[in-house]
Amino acid sequence: MIYSVTLNPSIDFIVRVKDFKEGETNRAYADEFYAGGKGIMVSKLLKNVGTDCINLGFLGGFTGKFIELNLDKLNIKHDFIQVEDNTRINVKLKSSKETEINCKGPTVSKEAIDNFLDKISNIKKEDFVILSGSVPVGLGTDFYTTIMEILNKNKINFTLDSSGEAFKKSLEYKPFLVKPNKDEISEFAKKKLESKDEIINFVRKNLLEKAHHVIVSMGGEGALYIAKDYVLFASALKGNLVNSVGAGDSVVAGFVDSMLKGSSVEEAFRFAVACGTATAFSEDIGELKFIEELKNKLIIERM
Task: Tell me the DSSP string of 83-130.
Answer: ESSPPEEEEEEESSSEEEE--------HHHHHHHHHHHHT--TT-EEE
* Residues with catalytic function: 249
The domains located in the chain, with CATH, are 1-175 (3.40.1190.20), 178-303 (3.40.1190.20)
Tell me how far apart the alpha carbons of residues 238 and 280 are, in angstroms, rounded to a whole number. Answer: 11
The reported pTM is: 0.91
What is the rounded average pLDDT of the residues 211-223? Answer: 90
Q: Residue 223's pLDDT is what?
A: 94
**Cross-strand partners of 12:** 34, 90
Share of the chain above pLDDT 70, in %: 100
Of 75, 69, 212, 56, nearest in space to 127 by CA: 56
What is the rounded average pLDDT of the residues 284-298? Answer: 94
Pairing of strands 222-226, 231-235: antiparallel
For residue range 129-183, list pLDDT tens digits in order.
Answer: 999 988 887 787 789 999 999 999 999 999 998 877 888 888 999 999 999 988 8
For residue range 78-128, list pLDDT tens digits in order.
Answer: 999 999 999 999 998 989 888 999 898 899 999 999 999 999 999 999 999
Tell me how far apart the alpha carbons of residues 8 and 85 are, in angstroms, rounded to a whole number. Answer: 12
Q: Residue 50's pLDDT is what?
A: 96
For residue range 91-100, list pLDDT tens digits in order.
Answer: 989 898 889 9
What is the rounded average pLDDT of the residues 17-45? Answer: 94
